[in-house]
């Protein structure tokens, strides 16, 4: 007779792996989809700002329908005007900047090289975190940051067809994402507000859409009008926007069923999948041994950074739990006898 406990555990493991595979597939597929839409002669939609604006507008509408009309999901409470103006608007603006510049980079550099440059992200996050007072400089972290930076430099040296314009756009996207993560940490630590991804998308997406709409009017709308008729393929672009929303939702599912370590390991696996598969899909991707060697060094540094962060978070959580445990008897002993 089958053990019901084992069957339940097996079922949960299968569901967890299914969510992880879904996240890796959607995350990798969305990168390839964006590259194809922006660069393909068949689609002919070389407007990264317009594409990103479409994603945010689609996400805003879908979040509103899911939370307010159909009420399938719930928006967490606790949002105030002060938090929105000091935290959500900066997060939305940086998110818009990240997506806009990151998608623009695909017009100039290969998907694989863009992914390699993204490995510098922990360095940018740490430097800005130190400046904001959220991180503390140490010899260990300095060594990890040096390893990541060296790996990215080696990978860049091995790039055959390097475009410095694309590098600047990608680095701008990295800085924007680092600032977004810093503002997110400030929102949680200093404001004390924790939002699930759906609630975050509900608040951030409209703000990001507005931040993208203003530059789109001046930078891309004239170009689109100059071509006479807009080459707008509704089916392809709607599917692209739907994939973006599904990716954000898959992140929510993975986090709710696994741990922070799992999502970070899955992210590293996804990065390698994107680098290797893009060499098969796109003609502009030509990997060299120096590319892969440098990227391997950078990924090793990223793994060390993730391990350090997770250990620190675990020790902080244990410390908080022990403080709470000590506070309970103290409060009990201070209660007067009746």
- The domains of the chain are located at 47-226+257-310
Asked if 308 and 141 count as a contact pair (C-beta separation under 8 A), the reply is yes
Query: Distance (Å, rounded) from C-alpha 338 to C-alpha 169?
Result: 69
User: Which pLDDT score, from 0 to 100, does residue 92 have?
Assistant: 93
Query: Distance (Å, rounded) from C-alpha 299 to C-alpha 59?
Result: 31
Tell me the three state secondary structure of residue 170.
Answer: helix
**6-39 exposure pattern, b = at least 16 Cβ within 10 A, e = fewer:** eeeeeeeeeeeeebbebbbebbbbbbebbbbbbb
Helices then strands, each counted (H, E), the chain: 13, 0
Asked if 151 and 118 count as a contact pair (C-beta separation under 8 A), the reply is no
Query: Distance (Å, rounded) from C-alpha 295 to C-alpha 249?
Result: 29
Tell me the three state secondary structure of residue 136.
Answer: coil
User: Which pLDDT score, from 0 to 100, does residue 331 have?
Assistant: 44
Q: For 278, list phi and psi in degrees, rounded to 5.
A: -60, -30
User: How does pLDDT run across 250-266, given as a tens digit for each residue?
Assistant: 876 776 666 655 676 78
Tell me the three state secondary structure of residue 1.
Answer: coil
User: How does pLDDT run across 326-337, given as a tens digit for each residue?
Assistant: 655 544 444 444
Query: Distance (Å, rounded) from C-alpha 289 to C-alpha 155?
Result: 9
User: Which pLDDT score, from 0 to 100, does residue 323 have?
Assistant: 67
User: Which pLDDT score, from 0 to 100, does residue 2 have?
Assistant: 54
Q: For 259, list phi and psi in degrees, rounded to 5.
A: -125, 175
Query: Distance (Å, rounded) from C-alpha 148 to C-alpha 271?
Result: 15
User: How does pLDDT run across 165-186, given as a tens digit for each residue?
Assistant: 999 999 999 999 899 888 888 8
The owner of tokens 């070389």 is 46
Query: Distance (Å, rounded) from C-alpha 125 to C-alpha 264?
Result: 15
The owner of tokens 């300095």 is 142
Instruction: Give the residue ranges of the chain where pLDDT is below 50.
Output: 1, 330-338
User: Which pLDDT score, from 0 to 100, does residue 335 have?
Assistant: 42
């Amino acid at each position: 007779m089958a053990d019901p406990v084992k069957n339940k555990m097996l079922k949960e493991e299968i569901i967890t792996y299914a969510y992880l595979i879904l996240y890796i597939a959607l995350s990798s597929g969305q990168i390839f989809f964006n590259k194809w839409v922006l660069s393909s002669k068949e689609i002919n939609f070389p407007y990264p700002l317009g594409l990103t604006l479409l994603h945010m507008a689609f996400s805003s509408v879908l979040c509103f329908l899911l939370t307010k009309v159909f009420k399938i999901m719930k928006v967490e409470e606790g949002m105030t005007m002060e938090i929105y103006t000091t935290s959500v608007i900066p997060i939305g603006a940086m998110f818009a900047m990240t997506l806009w510049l990151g998608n623009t980079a695909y017009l100039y550099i290969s998907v694989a090289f863009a992914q390699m440059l993204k490995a510098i992200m922990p360095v940018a996050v740490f430097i800005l975190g130190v400046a904001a007072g959220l991180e503390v400089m140490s010899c260990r972290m300095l060594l990890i940051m040096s390893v990541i930076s060296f790996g990215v430099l080696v990978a860049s040296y091995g790039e055959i067809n390097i475009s410095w314009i694309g590098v600047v756009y990608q680095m701008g996207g990295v800085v924007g994402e680092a600032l977004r993560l810093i503002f997110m940490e400030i929102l949680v630590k200093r404001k004390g507000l924790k939002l699930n991804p759906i609630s975050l998308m509900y608040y951030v997406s409209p703000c990001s859409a507005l931040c993208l709409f203003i530059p789109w009017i001046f930078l891309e709308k004239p170009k689109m009008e100059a071509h006479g008729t807009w080459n707008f393929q509704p089916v392809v672009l709607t599917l692209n926007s739907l994939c973006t929303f599904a990716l954000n939702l898959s992140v929510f599912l993975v986090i709710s069923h696994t741990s922070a370590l799992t999502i970070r390991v899955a992210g590293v696996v996804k990065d390698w999948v994107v680098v290797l598969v893009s060499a098969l899909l796109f003609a502009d991707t030509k990997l060299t041994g120096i590319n892969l060697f440098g990227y391997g060094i950078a990924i090793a540094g990223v793994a060390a950074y993730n391990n350090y962060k997770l250990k620190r978070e675990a020790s902080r959580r244990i410390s908080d739990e022990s403080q709470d445990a000590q506070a309970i008897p103290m409060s009990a002993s201070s209660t007067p006898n009746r």
